[in-house]
Chain A
């Protein structure tokens, strides 16, 4: 019997994109949050260059308010695969007086990340940042190109994007500009989960149901932590929860869940009637929250 390779079209497309980034740019970097999408990117990059190593470093923009499980996972992955990891700290941006810590009920370091990211791009002279954004996440993201050109202020000009035809990618940019490259643009949340399951990719434990100290506000489940603002009357309880998306603690809500295995997680996602970003507190700020953040350089 002939051993015929039949491609998974979405995987094949992502690998093609990742290779284009590596070939067209001088100094690419993979934006790594420790979440399922960037973990999937790492696997795709491994496949793109095997048996060689991934030819670019990872960049983690660390808000300092991350789930400890994610950081632990990150360090283990980097060590196992022999990758180079660069950590850019939001705390440094705060200490340098470049950004100001938010105060009050909805305070978060999420939007502060933009400044830290743009600084890191400038310091390391990155000309391409590979990100795990998907067009199905949010309606402004649905408009994003695979190679999305940003100016030297990191800005996205949403009304004047380069057309992308067939799978030909034009990565030519001027000094100071950079490209945000999105290899899994065309994947859905379910595609990512099914891929993680099929490939048996390791993910941080917070994606599986576990007991956690939480409190409830505005119909969402917040992590009880010193980093998350909580009023005295907001009562801390212990519940079985898991996370569908991993930002930092201040902008990621948990969901009630009993799903303890990848099979159960995939089933839960399949049956869910709430979108992934329904649990993202950062998107609830306004109708155009994501578009506005992207315009000024947010990932």
Chain B
């Protein structure tokens, strides 16, 4: 299989501290022979130095001195491995409540979430929170890995009880039951990680890796309508390409073909696609995820931040916005505050009109709030300096999300999911 067609799966792990996230990742790397000898030796050496009688795989993922000092994960680490069929990127996200924002960061680019549960502890508050965030971000597939089965004598009843508790959570969420898969595992011993388990013969389902390998590309895609976000206008002005005017950007959702009637937003000018180009080649059609260059039939005005859409598939265009916000900065979001709102590559000014409420991440509802503090999730209404052209987040992740940038510090303070 050629590299171009090898599928890519982005995974985010979630779980409480000591649920075994690092061990699980380490085990996946180890069993797929992705952990090189020198890295493994370093893990062995450091584990021994710390006086452990097991391999501490967190040493492979906790890359910062401060993390190794405290024995906790502070920031997202990205771990990579390839099998013959698939490229994998795992975002190893922190388990601590105070690093929820980093969990949101990791989950934002993921198609699959692995939520770890300690078989001895069952569903706990952190499980609620992590599942809630995956639900909010609409991560397509959730794997509930019930770990440390070795410590409960591989007891099927323990697995079934936890599964039942979790199913009650699924009922409260937007997930359908076929989007959530339960796998009993022992990350430490490798049961049901890369291959099946002899000791848990009562479990008939796939191992974690088998499940991932079997996911089809169209199950992983972010479906939706074609949204072409213009990043850069290409005007070579060379002898061979003197009149060339191409719009370079990324196509999100759907597909675009030569000859399609398109509308340029925000100007609402109409034109037709003349060519779709990538490097020195021309194509009839491009599909979602393509970073191509498009030329139009007419000499219309198109700039960075504009969007090309099919003329019969227009998004909403509004100056008022309601969104679920996750606050990722220590400076709270308050009513009346002004921000730079970045939607794709387009930036407008936004003012917080009102905060409808603070959302409880344990599915128990909302409470009134006049501000959102770090790691809070709330419903917020904005007024914008210019309309943006969006879809609800449930219909398009890329065109239904935005970030807020603080005007003074330039920090990214919040992420929003448009309702």
Query: A: which residues have CB within 8 A of B?
Result: 2-13, 15-16, 19-20, 22-23, 46-53, 135-136, 138-143, 158-159, 161-168, 170, 172-174, 185-186, 188, 190-191, 194-195, 198, 272-275, 278, 287-288, 291
Contact = CB atoms under 8 A, between A and B. Distances in A.
A23 B250 CA distance: 14
B284 A4 contact: yes
Given A15-B291, A46-B279, A140 B401 contact: no
Interface in B39-97: 39, 46, 60-66, 68, 74-82, 87, 89
Interface residues of B, number: 84
B312 interface: no
Given A166-B401, A170-B342, A170-B403, A6 B5 contact: yes
B402 interface: yes
B410 A174 contact: yes
Contacts of B398: 166-167
Contacts of A8: 3-4
A10 B8 contact: yes
Contact of A186 (B2, B66, B80, B277): B80
A162 to B, nearest CB: 5
Nearest to B410: A172
Given A170-B412, A272-B36, A142 B79 contact: yes
Interface of B: 2-5, 8, 33, 36-39, 46, 60-66, 68, 74-82, 87, 89, 101-102, 104-105, 108-109, 231-232, 234-236, 238, 240-241, 244, 246, 248-250, 255, 257, 276-287, 289-293, 304, 328, 340, 342, 344-345, 397-398, 401-403, 405, 410-412, 415
B342 A22 contact: no
B276 A5 contact: yes
Contacts of B68: 287
B37 A51 contact: no
A97 B342 CA distance: 45
11 contacts: A5-B283, A52-B234, A138-B63, A139-B61, A140-B64, A142-B79, A143-B64, A165-B104, A278-B37, A287-B46, A291-B63
B342 A139 contact: no
Contacts of B62: 139
Contacts of B291: 7, 11-13, 15-16, 19, 48
Contacts of B77: 135, 139, 142-143
Contacts of A52: 234-236, 238, 241, 244
Given A5-B283, A168-B403, A186 B61 contact: no
Contacts of A143: 63-64, 75-77
Contact of A20 (B231, B255, B292, B412): B231
A20 B345 contact: yes
